[in-house]
Amino acid sequence: MIEFANVTKQYAGHGASSHSALRDVSLTVAKGELVYLAGPSGAGKSTLLKLIAAMERPSAGTVTVNGTDIGRLKHAGIPFLRRNLGLIFQQQRLLTDRSVLANVMMPMLVTGLPRAQSEDRARAALDKVGLLDRAAAHPLALSGGEQQRVSIARAIVNRPQIILADEPTANLDRASATKVFDALRAFNKVGVTCLISTHDEHVLDSATRVIHLRQGMLQDGVPAAPAQEVAP
Ligand SMILES: Nc1ncnc2c1ncn2[C@@H]1O[C@H](COP(=O)(O)OP(=O)(O)OP(=O)(O)O)[C@@H](O)[C@H]1O
């Protein structure tokens, strides 16, 4: 379970007079939910996801992830938190000097899982995102959408309870974006909680839950329809 209670985030360098990246945000995401984050550029979507992953700390309020208070989490506790998180962020690009398979094996090798077992699980993950036949390829030989699906495979190999994806379909065409969202939805179907920021209207229109942010604040429900013209 993820809980934000009156969370404000102000980055260092943001003066007192400037706006906060998040302002007094309270929300709950239950285990197994699929939630999209929507809002214009700069609305605070990435900040919200980074707070869950302890990549940032709240300036005020509390962020709780599976009972852990992120604001009080010691540095040494971060790897334990992240073990339950599958992160799909722009900063975590694939390593281009090794194969797709090696990229997906990496999170398991760093936790000390034996190589043979890591390879089996990496192949199974690549199969789930429809890319097993590209295991030996190098990431740069793949399309943007395929690379993003490899990132998803890499994010889920350690069987996280929660997937956080920050605009996973930015710069992808419709067909590639559909495959990326299908892969994420498939993991949600087997019980993984998913939080996905996106501008993709296609996906937002059919979503069961969308959190709208604007200038760091939650917008309740769907944005209001444009004002009706009043007949003279
Ligand atoms: N590391 C940082 N230092 C200072 N300000 C930051 C930092 N990261 C984000 N901000 C500011 O916080 C606000 C929210 O940014 P954030 O990246 O969370 O928005 P976003 O909704 O994810 O935007 P986008 O859709 O463009 O990715 C913006 O005003 C941004 O400039």
Interface pTM (ipTM) of the complex?
A: 0.93
Ligand 1 atom closest to 47 (CA): 18
Q: Among 102, 82, 104, 106, which residue's Cα sits nearest to residue 163?
A: 82
Buried/exposed 206-215: b ≥16 CB within 10 Å, e otherwise: ebeebbbbee
Distance (Å, whole) CA 89 – CA 91: 5
Phi-psi region of 131 (alpha: psi -120 to 50; beta: other; left: phi over 0): alpha
Taking the centre of ligand 1 as the mean of its atom positions, its distance from the CA of residue 141, in whole angstroms, is 31
pLDDT over 60 (residue 72): yes
Domains of the chain: 2-218 (3.40.50.300)
Q: Please provide residue 97's backbone torsions phi and psi, each rounded to the nearest 5 degrees.
A: -95, 10
CA angle 170, 175, 180 (to 5 degrees): 55
21 Cβ closer than 6 Å to some ligand 1 atom: yes
Average of per-residue pLDDT across 130-142? 96
What pLDDT score was predicted for residue 226? 45
20 Cβ closer than 6 Å to some ligand 1 atom: no
What is the greatest pairwise CA distance in the chain? 75
Predicted TM-score (pTM) of this structure: 0.89
Taking the centre of ligand 1 as the mean of its atom positions, its distance from the CA of residue 212, in whole angstroms, is 15
